[in-house]
């Protein structure tokens, strides 16, 4: 898994699905940490027009650039649509934040050809490289 994590962290274009304006939530903390570590990060959440002055997108199909890594910070029950859109776009990695994963969504992601990371937090992993 460490090799896969390092591969994903070497990619520079990310989407954080479930990014939020609420600074106490992990959707915000992860988005902010990735930006602070120099990643090109697109926040995805249909509830917001912007986060920290950056445009927030309603879904992955609306992004101006195809992300290499899709970081899911949403409940497993809401993940399927984003996973399928990511597959259509040709994204390479799906990163399930702790609590965002389920066996069903992990298996779906693998079946669609993604490299899958789960059980570890992108915010902490990005801070260690």
pLDDT higher than 80, residue 86: yes
pLDDT higher than 70, residue 129: no
Q: Say what the pLDDT of residue 66 is.
A: 98
Instruction: With beta carbons less than 8 A apart as the criterion, state whether 117 and 7 touch.
Output: no
Q: What CATH code is carried by the domain that includes residue 101?
A: 3.40.50.720
Q: How many domains does the chain have?
A: 1
Structure tokens at 81: 């649509």
Mean pLDDT value of segment 64-90: 97
Each residue's pLDDT tens digit, 3-43: 999 999 999 999 999 999 999 999 999 999 999 999 999 99
- Whether the model clears a pTM of 0.85, i.e. scores above it, the answer is yes
CA dist., res. 123 & res. 121, Å (int): 5
Q: Which domain holds residue 34?
A: 2-128
Q: Say what the pLDDT of residue 99 is.
A: 93
- Residues ≥6 apart with Cβ < 8 Å to 2: none
């Amino acid at each position: 898994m460490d090799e896969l994590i390092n591969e994903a962290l070497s990619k520079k274009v990310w989407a954080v699905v479930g990014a939020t304006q609420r600074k106490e939530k992990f959707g915000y903390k992860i988005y902010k940490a990735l930006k602070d570590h120099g990643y090109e990060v697109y926040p995805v959440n249909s509830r917001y027009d912007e986060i920290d002055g950056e445009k927030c997108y309603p879904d992955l199909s609306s992004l101006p650039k195809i992300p290499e890594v899709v970081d899911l910070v949403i409940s497993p029950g809401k993940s399927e649509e984003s996973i399928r859109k990511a597959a259509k776009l040709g994204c390479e990695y799906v990163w399930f934040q702790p609590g965002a994963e389920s066996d069903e969504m992990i298996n779906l992601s693998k079946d669609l050809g993604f490299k899958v990371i789960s059980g570890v937090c992108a915010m902490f992993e990005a801070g260690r490289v």
